[in-house]
Amino acid sequence: MPVKKNNNKEQNKISINLSTVERVKRFISFICQYRAECNLTSWDGKYIVDAKSVMGVFSLDLSKPVKLEIYTNDQEEAMKIMNGLSEYTDV
């Protein structure tokens, strides 16, 4: 669900669990299929990284849930992304 705008793009947020290397690999492979700008924020809000960057994702403390933020004007694409995240939402 859209929560606010950033540079004229709708922002969607969801908490996800990337606690294993396999989950991270599957998540990045999934998220890279889309044109939307996607960021991950650490559980404490101190760090924000590009969700499509392997090094960025692994720089976060993944033992705790992280927040995925999706920025796009294409709400159909945003919904496809949100619907494809079910395996990562067991937080």
CA distance 44 to 64: 9
User: In which domain, by residue range, is 58 found?
Assistant: 2-88
What span, in angstroms and rounded, lies between the C-alpha atoms of 16 and 60?
13
Separation in Å, CA 49 to CA 54, 69, 75, 76: 10, 10, 22, 24
Residue-level pLDDT, tens digit, the chain, 91 residues:
344 445 567 789 999 999 999 999 999 999 999 999 999 999 999 999 999 999 999 999 999 999 999 999 999 999 999 999 999 998 6
Q: What is the CATH number of the domain that holds 71?
A: 3.30.1340.10
The whole model's pTM is what?
0.86
Domain count, the chain: 1
